[in-house]
Structure 1
Amino acid sequence: MVQSQTILSGQVSGPLIATDEALSFWGGVDPTTAQIIDIHHPLHGVCLTGAILVMPTSRGSCTGSGVLLEMILNGRGPGALIFRESEDVLTLGALIAAEMFETPIPVLRLSPDAYETIAASSSAIIGPGFVKHDTGTLAVSPPEIIELELTDEDEAMLAGLGGMAVSQSMRIICRMAAQQGAKRLVDVTQAHIDGCIYASPANLTFADRMADMGAKVRIPTTMNAISVDHSNWRAQGVPATFGDPAARLADAYVTMGCQPTFTCSPYLLDTAPQRGDSIAWAESNAVIFANTVLGARTAKHPDFLDLCIALTGRAPESGVYLSIHRRAQRVIDIEMPDNVDDAFWPLIGYLAGKTSPDRIPLLRGINKVRPSRDDMKALCAAFGTTSAAPMLHIEGITPESDEPLAENADHSVVSRAELVQAWTQLNSGPREIDLVAIGSPHASLQECRNLAQGLKARLGTSSRRPDVSVIVTAGQKVIEDAKADGTIALLKDAGVLIYPDLCWCSISEPVFPSKARALMTNSGKYAHYGPGLSGRPVRFGSLSQCIEAAVTGHIEPGLPTWLQD
């Protein structure tokens, strides 16, 4: 029997805000106003300040921990968090607030019955061992005390042998391990930092504090996309009030020994892990790709925990680090249309996440067409937008898809009608387009080549609409390779702008064209987050549709041919 349990202690009273749908705080909540900005979420427009938020779990970005920390530190945070399922991202943000900034908020995980009772209430009082609600009082167990099997080296780091930053990191890792039910820690061979995105001032506050304590990573550690083009943001007109702290945040992580790779697609680097490697990546799309496609092993580590693990080389041995927790818990049979194009893969990833928001699925029925590496990149990114699961399986395609199902695995179906509904949901924008966004996650070399060749073939000797901006974001390594083979020259000839370091999920005006009124993207991830992040309506479609929009300035409404009856 699942017990109701306190994860992080505290006392608070306030109104309840309950939802059946998980929420990503990054891209879903404005940390300055605490309003929900995800236009696809049923709580869109609701302010969370002071409220007790009740939801099954979180989803989406690992950066949600930084958003929550900022909200807590600026007095805009929720009064408490109540979950039904295991949750790491927001829990870690609340833990950092308590552990490093002495600003705690309660975090509870309730049994299904208790959760339903609380979700139906209008207000609550949380205290030591209880939750008082509209019709009664629920008993809640205190935080679980688990004796971790620490090595001598773990104990030494915890005691401060490696310095203040390492000791602080080990305390945080051990507390997260306890709430995850881990019995021990595991060695990891590399890390990927997501907390270098300037989602809020809290990200810089944390990094500066760790750097001031002398933090230095002890395993190879790459860095996610950042929030500015590091070398050119001043020339691009980015205000110093944003550009300076964003660049300082990146520099702080470099000072701590991280490699300035500045990409949200670390699986495109030469250092990508192999099957069976235990690693510690943050950035949701990268985590899902690593587990799903590469067969590496990493939890979806929240921002801040990523650095703690990089400083110690140790992570909680829980979740998908263990083979038994990598098994599919839901089988999803998909009614796959014929003659699909590249837009099918992010669409089915998005819909698979909605169908399996809190467990690892096995997708069946789509292996009659072999997806490319870029198709899988798009699918994993979209899946991570709508699901909290750190991986998925695709029958006959992904390396662990033939492993036994979990004992409690259930079954679901994605119909053609649901594909149509999801396509319509991601296409709320108008016919007229004045911005085309490519590279969410960062574009691969092949994607850059496909765009360049597609534009060249479509244009011939003519030119495209000059009032339509076309922007590609990509990692430095991909841009270097694209320069070497002439792809960048072709893109520039077609009037395409290519930006390193930042990505669509961190881009801001004026690099994001201020005059843009509506945009087109081939990314299911950005089609979801874009309206809330940019304030513009979005159209979603294939790369060929993006090319058409770039050339003509419009894209006809309606379904793609493969979704038409």
Structure 2
Amino acid sequence: MLTLTQYEQEMLVGKYGRLKQQALQKVVEYARILGAQELCEVTMAHVFCGAHGYLSAAGEGSVEKIVSQMQYCTEEILPLTEMACYCQSDCGPMDPKAYARMGVSETEARRNREFLDYYCQSGINMVGTCVPYLCGFIPMPGEHYVSSESHAVTLMNSLWGACGNADGLEAGFWAAACGRMPKWGNHLRDNRQGTHVFDVECAVNSSRDWDLLGYTIGRKLPPHAVPVINGITNRLSIISIKYFFAAMATTAGPEMCHIVGVTPEAPTLRAALGGREPVRRMTVTVQDLEESYRILGGGQALGPIDYISLGCPHYSIEELRWIANMLDGKKVVQGTTVHVWTASPIKEVADRSGYTGTIEAAGAVVLTSSCPLTSERMPTGTKTVGFDSAKQAHYIAASRQVNVGYGSLEQCIAAAVTGRWDT
């Protein structure tokens, strides 16, 4: 039976306004379906803002009407009031400033701006990124949050001991408005213990190694399992780990992952498992990583390359520095388009540091707030594409009629300069 606090009861009867009332009503319905016994206070929300394609299901109408219908699940128009917690926006359908460089029309950009302005007036910070944790969205251990980005949920739960679930886009907006979510799943300590152990028996050093490791573990992971990664001895970086969790979220749906000796709830293998025996124990070998590499399109010669997209998840400032150094004094060959994706706050630092200028002097384009997946766009006439991201390679190969190459950042830069994707 679901028990509500006095404040929640007051919100539910409309004492704090119709928006909060409607949001909490949906949260309560959600909680009852899940069998949650109480709600938890959400202090941070990472929500999916912008004129995304799925919103067209609501038909024509004002932004206010569409948001009410699609995100708060009501035909009643509910103006957005101030959100109940700190909020950031996830990726959008375009770069809100450099949209023309993506081939987006002025009409589409104006509509997207209407949505962003509407969200902004309620206190949602327009950061527009899938890496909120690189831009100030850092829930502390035990802090309850929501996020619309799959790998970010796994990363923040695992690395910091924060508490969140992959609840869905609409649930994120409910939580942002009322500051509550069902206390279930990863919000409860007992549900966070590891179930399946992966003994890593191969070297994992580069970002690509971590990308392939995440993809491989995801291929082997059963539904609703919590992986425990054992055997990692080298130092991790936030760059490597974001690739790891993004790739694992692509081939599986874990919202929690323990890395023995690294993540806070896994000082030992026994602690990660909560003192229990694992459901199953598996090994990961170099042959497993090579198989993932082949599945993703690695190791093949595609010939002339039309489009290279870098920055999934969005690039950090350090990665932008790396690309600037690689492209310094070089030129992207005519006929090949290179897009480099990051968050707008990170691009601001790159602008000040000279990295953006160097990258664009070489003929690449630095963009923010989106990617080929969320924008559902690639340059017109694209037939061959190259990625340094398992997530992008996996999803684009399945959804577009293009030839996909997967490789390291170095291979992508070499292809950009030569115009060819070689093995």
TM-score, normalising length: structure 2: 0.88
**What SS does structure 1 have at the residue aligned with 2:346?**
helix
Contact kept? 2:194, 2:257, Cα under 8 Å:
yes
Q: 1:394 aligns with which of 259, 267, 271?
A: 259
Contact kept? 2:331, 2:363, Cα under 8 Å:
no
Q: Output the CA distance in 1 between the equivalents of 2:331 and 2:348.
A: 26
Moved more, 212-221 or 491-500: 212-221
- Confirm whether residue 356 of structure 1 aligns to residue 221 of structure 2: yes
1:284 is matched with 150
Q: Output the CA distance in 2 between the equivalents of 1:199 and 1:364.
A: 41
The alpha-carbon deviation at position 244 of structure 1 amounts to 4.8
1:225 is matched with 91
The alpha-carbon deviation at position 424 of structure 1 amounts to 0.5
Question: Structure 1 residues 213 and 273 mapped into 2: Cα distance closer, same or farther (>3 Å)?
Answer: same
Alignment of 1:5-44 (within 5 A): none
Q: Deviations over 1:204-253 (max 9, x none)?
A: 76514459312321111100011022234357542467545444433332
Identity of aligned residues (%): 28
Alignment of 1:157-556 (within 5 A): 157-194=11-48, 196=50, 198-200=52-54, 201-202=56-57, 206-209=66-69, 210=72, 212-216=77-81, 217-233=83-99, 237-239=103-105, 242-337=108-203, 340-358=205-223, 359-365=225-231, 367-402=232-267, 403-406=271-274, 407=276, 409-410=278-279, 411-427=281-297, 430-432=301-303, 433-456=305-328, 460=329, 463-509=331-377, 512-556=378-422
Count matched residues.
403
Question: Structure 1 residues 499 and 280 mapped into 2: Cα distance closer, same or farther (>3 Å)?
Answer: same
Q: Output the CA distance in 1 between the equivalents of 2:114 and 2:399.
A: 22
Question: Structure 1 residues 237 and 468 mapped into 2: Cα distance closer, same or farther (>3 Å)?
Answer: closer
Q: Give structure 1 stretches of 5+ with no counterpart.
A: 1-146, 558-565
Contact kept? 2:128, 2:344, Cα under 8 Å:
yes
Q: Which has the higher contact order (CA 8 A, sep 6+)?
A: 2
**What SS does structure 1 have at the residue aligned with 2:415?**
helix
**What SS does structure 1 have at the residue aligned with 2:207?**
coil
Question: Structure 1 residues 486 and 364 mapped into 2: Cα distance closer, same or farther (>3 Å)?
Answer: same
Higher helix share: 2
Question: Structure 1 residues 487 and 182 mapped into 2: Cα distance closer, same or farther (>3 Å)?
Answer: same
State the one-letter code of the partner of 1:318. Answer: W
Contact kept? 1:193, 1:306, Cα under 8 Å:
yes
Q: Deviations over 1:227-284 (max 9, x none)?
A: 0222343575424675454444333322433111111110011342233322222211
Q: Deviations over 1:99-132 (max 9, x none)?
A: xxxxxxxxxxxxxxxxxxxxxxxxxxxxxxxxxx
The alpha-carbon deviation at position 322 of structure 1 amounts to 1.4
Q: Output the CA distance in 2 between the equivalents of 1:357 and 1:493.
A: 46
**What SS does structure 1 have at the residue aligned with 2:421?**
coil
**What SS does structure 2 have at the residue aligned with 1:304?**
helix
Q: Output the CA distance in 2 between the equivalents of 1:369 and 1:162.
A: 51
Q: Output the CA distance in 2 between the equivalents of 1:158 and 1:206.
A: 23
Q: 2:3 aligns with which of 140, 149, 156?
A: 149
**What SS does structure 2 have at the residue aligned with 1:473?**
strand
Q: Output the CA distance in 1 between the equivalents of 2:421 and 2:260.
A: 34
The alpha-carbon deviation at position 308 of structure 1 amounts to 0.2
Contact kept? 2:20, 2:178, Cα under 8 Å:
yes
Moved more, 492-501 or 394-403: 394-403
